[in-house]
Amino acid sequence: MREPRPTPRTALDKLWEAHEILRHPGGPSLLYVSRVLVHDGSFHAFEMLRDAGLAVRRPAQVFGTADHYVSTDPGRVTGETPEIRRVLDLFERNMRDNAIAHFAAGTRGQGIVHVVGPEQGITLPGTLLVCGDSHTSTHGGLGAFAFGIGQSELAHVLATQTIWQHRPRRMRIAIEGRLGRFVSAKDVILAVIARIGISGAMGFMIEYAGSAVRALSVEERLTLCNMSIEAAARAGMVAADDKVFDYLHGRPHAPQGAGWDRAVAIWRQLGTDPGAVFDREVTLDATAIAPMVSWGTTPEQTLPIDARVPWPAAEPDPARRAQIEASLAYMDLTPGRPLSEIGVDVVFIGSCTNGRIEDLRAAAEVLRGRRTTVRTLVVPGSGQVREQAQAEGLDRIFRAAGAEWREAGCSMCVAMNGDIVAPGQRCASTSNRNFAGRQGIGARTHLMSPAMAAAAAVAGRLTDVRRLEAVGP
């Protein structure tokens, strides 16, 4: 008598079951945490531990880096205030007192936590990784189950190496076809969010699939997963494949020697089985995705660059119409205005979304032989990215174009480190959030890819990088 065939499982099913310790009758499960990432903004969690008289349970599985508060000024002097210095000193104390491996400001490995984790091999396929930062979904680009948590949850994880979680539902978003020139992973995820909305993935983990996703580089997949949270997803993931294994091989914290071969054999089994069922399926045509820019105050309020600012009256839903009106008022935009006519005051190229070496190469390709017309900050995502960019001569291209070449850090994405967009200024940004005040009180943010941001830096306005290319330097 034949044994029944096992039910096909999704990648989420496999990772959840591998980390589940027990299940509460009320629904949540206690999960084992493989990796914990902390940064200079995680001090509240460590304070909670001290107040409770608790220690970090497994320091060897915790890694830290300074990123949110650290200055990106060359020399890291003029952007640092006494308050920021105290935060960075406290970070060093928390790392030292708890014997946690970390990357301090000024060291080669320092950088944005979601750039450092993958490039150091801390993030691995099949791991359950958490961090006290909402864009922890980034790490799903390597096949990890990764999500952001609050400070009280982080304290619990540090003390127990476990976390209580409700199992998310499963969503697959397939991007099929070939992306056009200058259409990047950033454009793809903005198109996804515009399609499903900022609440469209609430309660889900997204698995990205399809021919266009398989064609993406590892760094592009990290960008794709990074903004899953902007659609309210618990996490985003791309199944690990040979590209991921090649990317991770030889990295400092990845398995070595025979351990590497054993790990890869396990990782190959973690993808979604053929025939596995998802709770929701969404498909996008890659050939129909154009370079995207946001016009409003949520990532959902995004359109192709050749579109116009929307008319609120065209929206039949009263609540959404009111939201559009509020966004237009904050952004000081007139309905019907071509997006390509909107001027910008500053350009920011960097962040955990687009601060990797491939992002800097894309921006340099546009800026080579051209000059910026507005203030432009180029901020590498880590010291290693900065070092590689300089070895490739990208820094010389940026400087020749008139851009500022900065040190590694979160910079203008979070506006808590001296890099701030002034009130009323408009910023073309490669970051992940365009909320009111995100880049500074009264700042107006337009999200886009590195190539599009570089084009805006040259034109002094939102512009289609494909047309800029046609004109030439």
Residue 186 and residue 331 share a domain: no
**For position 77, what pLDDT does the model report?**
57
Residue 347 and residue 234 share a domain: no
Residues of the chain with pLDDT under 70: 1-5, 76-79, 470-472
Per DSSP, the three-state class of 73 is: coil
**For position 78, what pLDDT does the model report?**
54
**For position 468, what pLDDT does the model report?**
87
Per DSSP, the three-state class of 41 is: coil
DSSP 111: B
Residue 59 and residue 159 share a domain: yes
**Residue 152 domain-assigned?**
yes
**Residue 3 domain-assigned?**
no
**For position 355, what pLDDT does the model report?**
98
**Residue 6 domain-assigned?**
no
**Residue 4 domain-assigned?**
no
**Residue 132 domain-assigned?**
yes
**Residue 1 domain-assigned?**
no
How far is the CA of 146 from the CAs of 116, 135, 279, 458, in angstroms? 14, 9, 20, 37
pLDDT tens figures, 297-334: 999 999 999 999 999 999 999 999 999 999 999 999 99
User: Number of folded domains in the chain?
Assistant: 3
Domain extent at residue 25: 11-167+241-265
Residue 56: CATH number of its domain: 3.30.499.10
How far is the CA of 413 from the CAs of 289, 315, 389, in angstroms? 25, 30, 20
Residue 337 and residue 195 share a domain: no
pLDDT tens figures, 376-418: 999 999 999 999 999 999 999 999 999 999 999 999 999 899 8
Residue 248 and residue 192 share a domain: no
**Residue 2 domain-assigned?**
no
**For position 212, what pLDDT does the model report?**
98
**For position 72, what pLDDT does the model report?**
93
Helix (H) or strand (E) holding 452: helix 450-459
Q: Which residues are CB-neighbours of 156 under 8 A, at least 6 positions away?
A: 162, 163
**For position 3, what pLDDT does the model report?**
61
Residue 145 and residue 16 share a domain: yes
Residue 69 and residue 141 share a domain: yes
Residue 199 and residue 156 share a domain: no
* HEC-encoded secondary structure of the chain: CCCCCCCCCCHHHHHHHHHEEEECCCCCEEEECCEEEEECCCHHHHHHHHHHCCCCCCHHHEEEECCCCCCCCCCCCCCCCHHHHHHHHHHHHHHHHCCCEEECCCCCCCECHHHHHHHCCCCCCCCEEEECCHHHHHHHHHCCEEEECCHHHHHHHHHHCEEEECCCEEEEEEEECCCCCCCCHHHHHHHHHHHHCCCCCCCEEEEEECHHHHHCCHHHHHHHHHHHHHHCCCEEECCCCHHHHHHHCCCCCCCCCHHHHHHHHHHCCCCCCCCCCCCEEEEEEHHHCCCEEECCCCCCCEEECCCECCCHHHCCCHHHHHHHHHHHHHHCCCCCCEHHHCECCEEEECHHHHCCHHHHHHHHHHHCCCCCCCEEEECCCEHHHHHHHHHCCHHHHHHHCCCEECCCCCHHHCCCCCCCCCCCCEEEECCCCCCCCCCCCCCEEEECCHHHHHHHHHHCECCCHHHHHHHCC
User: Which of 256, 288, 320 corresponds to the end of one domain?
Assistant: 288
Residue 186: CATH number of its domain: 3.40.1060.10
Residue 402 and residue 454 share a domain: yes
Distance CA 389, CA 349 (A): 14
Residue 223 and residue 84 share a domain: no
**Residue 83 domain-assigned?**
yes
Residue 233 and residue 252 share a domain: no
Residue 310 and residue 283 share a domain: no
Per DSSP, the three-state class of 292 is: strand
